[in-house]
């Protein structure tokens, strides 16, 4: 399929000498010369614009063809930007018999080739997930923006906006860097001009505008620059599947097939199995993929090539403009999979080092692996997606710490899940996590048991994959996702009026400081030791509720001993000679204590020890 990028040209009130027609939108706001894909598609939007004939006269830029659609307010233009094209103002001339022509100057820019961008996020990184509205308020002037559909600010309500913003994130980068974070993932930051619950960002009404209650496009770019100056990275959260009900292309759609329409409202079934079930009914597949996620989030029709282009080019624009390093792909299974594979190839062609991972909230390792690249499990489909959010290990670590030890239960569940890693092209590309903005806080999942909580953290930082920490995990924020807003509480100290500041040691309790120190110790050790980033993994079959595994490379070996029992345990190291080899000592990464490798390891109930194996 011939690839295009989509431009939606945003011309604010541009009309010629009283001409009733005016072009209202230009998206993206500009483009660049020298991109890998020379052909782009401009979508011009304005009242009756289809009646006008466009022309381009600019060296190196050619108008290949025009597309009229059902809605007379749209015209799609295929443009070729040749290798000789220079940065500058490209005049697009619109003419119509009996009317005076008018022009719009569209800007082509030089690419900032020396500016960091599209670096990719790998197992060498630690991702810190932030819901910006709930993290820190760095600019109280943008808390309420007149003219938007939701203007209520109420920190006492989990449904209204609280005022956190991009400046608040920028202000806390020292804190994150000190903690050992290398990458920041923000929940979607595009404008969500919806009447209710606009804070979470997953119902976009604009594709090229940062929500003004969070900041500006320039501020988002500044955030990327601030991160890059520290050697850190930025992940952008993308939503291919749906938009907000107030998105401008929903209010005035280009065509009747811009969205998935049904005779009456039809919700998705959320049953991912039908997408690869060899016995599935086509009707079930269609409802899963084409049904709406919720009534306020219309389902985009990825069979429409203009829709595909419109979505894809917006993502490329943000990488080039802001310097984004990676993508998280929301509700991956609900998208058209053929489109997502094509999208991935287009993005990789433009940015070979950029990486992305899809949200796959499914149940079962094959269900999850099917969405990763390589077509490794006998499916006639290759997503070209490096990795996924690893819900299977997430479920398994909860079972490991809460379940009773059994043949397939307790920590044996975690062992068995990791034993299935052969179904992935590379499981190290998967993002592992204890909790996120949709899941109950892990401290609550383990009954607010600090020992169990630390065991989960120890596993997170020492297992394979890309670890992701949810904001506030380092100070033990808690609650169950019933409803979701309960796990999206404000970070104490992020607001000027907060009486307690848990970004500082003096504002934290003894327990909170202990947790912060524990996370920092593990995170910084992982950051400074490639063995926990790219080292091989060897795990031993759990016995008597004890799970032992190693990370190792040519330089170092790390041994992790997890006691999931309700009683203390003593572990002999003799069973693990294959990995310990000729080492003589074990150094506890947390305490610094060094012990003889032949001495029995004593573990309190529900605790995990992490040792560096010393020669």
Question: Residue 11: is the preceding peptide bond cis (ω within 30°)?
Answer: no
- Residue 20's pLDDT is 45
Instruction: Answer for the pair 78, 306: CB distance below 8 angstroms, yes or no.
Output: no
Q: CA-CA distances (angstroms) from residue 410 to 81, 157, 388, 419, 566?
A: 59, 37, 24, 15, 12
In 3D space, the residue among 47, 49, 27, 42 whose CA is nearest the CA of residue 76 turns out to be 42
Q: Which of 133, 330, 445, 490 is catalytic?
A: 330
- Is residue 6 predicted with pLDDT exceeding 50? no
User: 281-329, pLDDT tens digit by residue?
Assistant: 999 999 999 999 999 999 999 999 999 999 999 999 999 999 999 999 9
- Is residue 9 predicted with pLDDT exceeding 50? no
Q: Which of 193, 237, 359, 612 is catalytic?
A: 359
Q: Which residues pair with 585 in a beta bridge?
A: 596, 614
| Cα 152 to chain centroid, rounded | 27
Q: Is 489 a catalytic residue?
A: no
User: 315-324, pLDDT tens digit by residue?
Assistant: 999 999 999 9
Is the entire prediction scored with pTM above 0.85?
Answer: yes
Q: Is 359 a catalytic residue?
A: yes
Q: How much of the chain, in percent, has pLDDT values that exceed 70?
A: 97
Alpha-carbon gap, residue 393 to 408, rounded angstroms: 14
Work out the pLDDT band at 377, boundaries 50, 70, 90.
Answer: confident
All structural domains of the chain, each given as residue ranges with its CATH number in brackets, are 6-109 (2.60.40.10), 127-528 (3.20.20.80), 536-614 (2.60.40.1180)
CA dihedral 282, 288, 290, 293 (to 10 degrees): 170
Q: Mean pLDDT over residues 423-447, rounded?
A: 98
Tokens 């012990």 locate to: 595
- Residue 26's pLDDT is 76
- Is residue 3 predicted with pLDDT exceeding 80? no
User: 50-63, pLDDT tens digit by residue?
Assistant: 999 999 999 999 99
Token pair belonging to 555: 């330089």
CA angle 318, 320, 322 (to 5 degrees): 55
The residue that leads in pLDDT, 446 or 615, is 446
The widest CA-to-CA distance across the chain, in whole angstroms, is 95
In 3D space, the residue among 220, 231, 239 whose CA is nearest the CA of residue 321 turns out to be 220
- Residue 21's pLDDT is 63
CA dihedral 262, 75, 208, 62 (to 10 degrees): 140
User: 195-216, pLDDT tens digit by residue?
Assistant: 999 999 999 999 999 999 999 9
Work out the pLDDT band at 381, boundaries 50, 70, 90.
Answer: confident
Query: Do the bridges between strand 569-571 and strand 601-603 make them parallel or antiparallel, or are there none, so unpaired?
Result: antiparallel
Phi-psi label, residue 98: left if phi above 0, alpha if psi -120 to 50, beta otherwise: left
Helical (H) or strand (E) element with 108: strand 99-109
- Is residue 437 predicted with pLDDT exceeding 60? yes
Alpha-carbon gap, residue 213 to 524, rounded angstroms: 33
CA dihedral 604, 606, 611, 613 (to 10 degrees): 90
- Residue 22's pLDDT is 81
Q: How much of the chain, in percent, has pLDDT values that exceed 90?
A: 93
- Residue 575's pLDDT is 96
- The mean pLDDT of the chain is 94
């Amino acid at each position: 399929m011939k690839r295009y990028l989509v431009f939606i040209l945003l011309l604010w009130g541009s009309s010629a000498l009283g001409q009733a027609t005016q072009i209202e939108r230009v998206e993206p706001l500009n483009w660049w010369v020298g991109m890998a894909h020379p052909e782009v598609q401009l979508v011009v939007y304005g009242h009756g614009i289809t009646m006008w004939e466009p022309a381009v006269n600019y060296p190196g830029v050619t108008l290949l063809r025009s597309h009229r659609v059902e809605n007379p307010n749209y015209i799609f233009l295929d443009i070729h930007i040749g290798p000789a094209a220079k940065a500058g103002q490209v005049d697009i001339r619109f003419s119509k018999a009996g009317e005076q022509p008018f022009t719009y100057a569209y800007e082509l820019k030089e690419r900032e080739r020396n500016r960091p961008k599209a670096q990719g996020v790998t197992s060498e990184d630690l991702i810190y997930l932030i819901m910006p509205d709930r993290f820190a308020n760095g600019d109280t002037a943008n808390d309420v923006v007149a003219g938007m559909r939701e203007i209520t600010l109420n920190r006492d309500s989990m449904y209204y906006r609280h005022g956190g913003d991009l400046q608040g994130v920028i202000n806390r980068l020292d804190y994150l860097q000190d903690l050992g974070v290398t990458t920041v993932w923000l929940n979607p930051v595009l404008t969500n001009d919806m009447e209710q619950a606009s804070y979470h960002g997953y119902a976009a009404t604009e594709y090229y505008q940062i929500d003004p209650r969070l900041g500006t496009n320039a501020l988002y770019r500044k955030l990327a620059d601030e991160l890059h100056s520290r050697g850190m990275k930025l992940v952008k959260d993308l939503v291919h599947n749906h938009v907000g009900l107030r998105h401008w292309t929903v209010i005035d759609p280009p065509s009747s097939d811009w969205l998935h329409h049904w005779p009456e409202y039809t919700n998705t079934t959320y049953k991912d199995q039908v997408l690869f079930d060899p016995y599935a009914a086509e009707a079930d597949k269609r409802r899963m993929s084409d049904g709406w996620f919720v009534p306020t989030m219309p389902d985009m029709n990825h069979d429409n090539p203009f829709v595909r282009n419109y979505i894809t080019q917006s993502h490329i624009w943000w990488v080039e403009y802001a310097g984004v390093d990676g993508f998280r792909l929301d509700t991956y299974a609900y998208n058209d999979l053929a489109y997502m594979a094509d999208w991935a190839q287009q993005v990789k062609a433009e940015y070979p080092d950029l990486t992305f991972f899809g949200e796959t909230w499914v149940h079962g390792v094959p269900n999850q692996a099917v969405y990763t690249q390589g077509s490794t499990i006998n499916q006639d489909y290759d997503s070209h997606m490096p990795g996924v959010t690893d819900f299977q290990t997430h479920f398994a670590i909860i079972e490991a710490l809460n379940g009773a030890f059994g043949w397939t239960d307790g920590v044996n569940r975690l062992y068995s899940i990791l034993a299935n890693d052969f179904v992935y092209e590379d499981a190290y590309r998967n993002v592992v996590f204890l909790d996120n903005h949709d899941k109950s806080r892990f401290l609550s999942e383990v009954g607010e048991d600090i020992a169990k909580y630390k065991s989960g953290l120890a596993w997170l930082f020492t297992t394979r994959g890309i670890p992701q920490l949810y904001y506030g995990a380092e100070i033990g924020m808690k609650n169950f996702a019933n409803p979701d807003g309960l796990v999206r509480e404000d970070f104490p100290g992020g607001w000027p009026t907060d009486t307690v500041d848990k970004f500082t040691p003096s504002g934290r309790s003894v327990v909170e400081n202990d947790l912060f120190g524990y996370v920092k110790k593990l995170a910084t050790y992982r950051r400074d030791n490639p063995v926990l980033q790219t080292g091989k993994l060897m795990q031993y079959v759990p016995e008597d509720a004890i799970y032992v595994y190693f990370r190792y490379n040519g330089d170092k070996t790390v041994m992790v001993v997890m006691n999931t029992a309700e009683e203390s345990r003593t572990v002999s190291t003799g069973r693990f000679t294959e990995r310990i080899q000729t080492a003589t000592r074990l150094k506890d990464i947390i305490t610094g204590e060094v012990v003889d490798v032949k001495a029995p390891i004593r573990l309190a109930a529900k605790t995990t020890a992490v040792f560096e194996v010393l020669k």
